[in-house]
């Protein structure tokens, strides 16, 4: 696939049956952050493409809804099998386009496969509840119906897994999906749909169930968000982006599912097992070069162990191998582009101006192997949790070491004193500490872990967070309900018409 795919100009719109292109706009040029070389070009979707793709999705929606959910699940099962066949190729493209390690690229494609498998089982478990009516000879129950057309706006750091989280669940729920991927990583999105295209034809899937539009914010994203024909917008990105999406979708009283910023903390109790904690901290902080919404950004450490922890982390950071993510012996690859490198540098300067102390790292690497200008050494800083820069999410490998003294509630208070609420973790061997952290008086995040890090969530659980993280949930558990509309039904099988609450109405 890659031999035929790279170094060519790809169409930026897919309506479920054909790829659409035009020469009206300059194409996107996609360069690899690994070495700066051009990977390929993508023709941007036009306004006409938008309408054509939406029309196909609208046509497909009622046809797809009429197919029994287990049969929809069979299409998704076939998609999973095709992804397994092309796992290594697609993972390589993920790495080339994002700069994440090849192991993480393979993990991302495996995540797509896993969510497909989850969705197949879910296709037989779209349960509603039955309720007892207060009226004689009445039956009450609830059922769930498809929404129609769902829009998915995904970010560069997970260029295909987040789409699969949404699209595969939405598909078994009976919806058509329009995908708008990041302009920084469109090739992976195109490749994903090209991989499943034959499956869609072979299973006679209505054209338009899975579609794609690649273009800039005004031409595509804003139109999707403002369009009342789109029943749900699922958007992954920054808090600023989420605020704009929520405002525009809310203005038309639409539904939105937002997965936004994370300012995730690990708390190290004096009772933590450091041999377990240090590897979890380092992977959480430098995996994907710090470009995960679940990246560990704050380490809240008890003062009694702070010197020991600081020394261990500096030693671990010095041992990190930085270089091409195609070499699986390397731990850290590049940031997505030079703009991200500049943003990291600015954050480090700001942190030091505000009083933080740089303990290690923060350099931009140059020379052989680092020609793209996107490689940095992950940074460690000692800081106060209240610093304005610490309250923000910088999408880069920056870890702030924050001391606490006294008992665990003091650390929990620090952890919760940020606007974001995605992922959190506590390392401790004390049962009462772990239970407090997981209680209503503990972590205020959507994800709370004990003795594992903040990143690496499995697809079986609902994924998402609170506060500025958006409040949405994707992936596992009952997150499927976001893609459906609830309906309560009452059936009278008697010969009289009693009213609820004892009301009488005689004619």
**Which positions are annotated as active-site residues?**
259, 293
DSSP string of 19-54, one letter each residue? EE--SSSPPEEEE-TTT--EEEEEEPP-HHHHHHHH
Q: How far apart are CA 288 and CA 335, in angstroms?
A: 8
Q: CA neighbours within 13 Å on the CB side: how many for 72?
A: 30
Parallel, antiparallel or unpaired: strands 149-153 and 264-268? unpaired
Distance separating alpha carbons of residues 477 and 443, to the nearest angstrom: 20
Backbone angles phi, psi at 39, to 5 degrees: -90, -35
Tokens 């904690």 found at: 277
Rounded to an integer, what distance in angstroms lies between the CA atom of residue 202 and that of residue 68? 18
Of 125, 178, 130, give the one whose Cα is nearest residue 154: 178
d(CA 309, CA 331): 20
Residue 161, helix vs strand vs coil: helix
The answer to whether the CB of 410 falls within 8 A of the CB of 383 is no
**Three-state DSSP state, 480:** helix
133 within 8 A of 139, measured Cβ to Cβ: yes
- Give residues with Cβ within 8 angstroms of 152, minimum separation 6: 162, 163, 166, 167, 170, 177, 178, 179, 180, 234, 235
Residue whose C-alpha is closest to residue 38's, from 27, 47, 46: 27
Other CB atoms within a 10 A radius of the CB of residue 65 amount to: 18
């Amino acid at each position: 696939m890659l031999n035929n795919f790279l170094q060519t100009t790809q169409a930026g719109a897919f309506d479920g049956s054909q790829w659409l292109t035009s020469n009206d706009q300059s194409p996107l040029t996609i360069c690899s952050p690994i070495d700066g070389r051009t990977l390929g070009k993508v023709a941007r979707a036009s306004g006409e493409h938008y309408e054509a793709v939406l029309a196909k999705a609208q046509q497909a929606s009622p046809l797809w809804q009429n197919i029994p959910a287990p049969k929809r699940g069979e299409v998704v099962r076939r998609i999973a099998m095709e992804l397994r066949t092309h796992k290594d190729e697609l993972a390589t493209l993920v790495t080339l386009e994002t700069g994440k390690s090849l192991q993480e690229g393979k993990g991302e494609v495996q995540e797509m496969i896993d969510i497909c498998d989850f969705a197949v089982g879910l296709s037989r478990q779209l349960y509603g509840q039955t309720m007892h009516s207060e009226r004689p000879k009445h039956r009450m129950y609830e059922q769930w119906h498809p929404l129609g057309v769902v829009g998915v706006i995904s970010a560069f750091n997970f260029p295909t897994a987040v789409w699969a989280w949404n699209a595969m669940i939405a598909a078994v729920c009976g919806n058509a999906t329009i995908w708008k991927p990041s302009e920084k990583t469109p090739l992976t999105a195109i490749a994903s749909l090209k991989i499943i295209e034959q499956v869609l034809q072979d299973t006679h899937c209505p054209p338009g169930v899975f579609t794609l539009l690649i273009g800039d914010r005004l031409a595509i994203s804003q139109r999707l968000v403002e369009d009342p024909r789109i029943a749900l917008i699922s958007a992954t990105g920054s808090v600023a982006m989420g605020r704009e999406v929520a405002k525009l979708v809310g203005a038309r009283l639409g539904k939105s599912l937002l997965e936004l910023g994370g300012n995730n903390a690990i708390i190290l109790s004096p009772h933590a097992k450091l041999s377990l904690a240090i590897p979890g901290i380092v992977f959480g902080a430098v995996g994907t070069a710090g470009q995960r919404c679940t990246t560990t950004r704050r380490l809240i450490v008890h003062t009694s162990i702070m010197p020991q922890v600081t020394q261990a982390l500096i030693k671990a950071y010095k041992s990190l191998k930085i270089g091409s993510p195609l070499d699986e012996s390397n731990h850290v690859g590049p940031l997505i582009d030079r703009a991200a490198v500049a943003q990291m540098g600015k954050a480090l300067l700001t942190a030091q101006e505000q009083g933080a102390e740089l303990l290690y790292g923060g350099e931009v690497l140059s020379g052989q192997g680092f020609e793209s200008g996107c490689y940095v050494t992950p940074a460690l800083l000692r800081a106060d949790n209240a610093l304005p820069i610490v309250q923000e999410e910088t999408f880069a490998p920056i870890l702030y070491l924050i001391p606490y003294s006294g008992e665990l509630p003091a650390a929990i208070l620090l952890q919760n004193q940020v606007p974001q609420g995605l992922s959190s973790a506590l390392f401790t061997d004390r049962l009462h500490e772990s239970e407090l952290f997981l209680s209503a008086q503990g972590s205020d995040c959507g994800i709370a872990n004990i003795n594992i890090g903040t990143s690496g969530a499995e697809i079986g659980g609902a994924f998402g967070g609170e506060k500025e993280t958006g409040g949405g949930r994707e992936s596992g558990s009952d997150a499927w309900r976001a893609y459906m509309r609830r309906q309560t039904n009452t059936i009278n099988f008697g010969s009289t018409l009693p009213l609820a609450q004892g009301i009488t109405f005689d004619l």
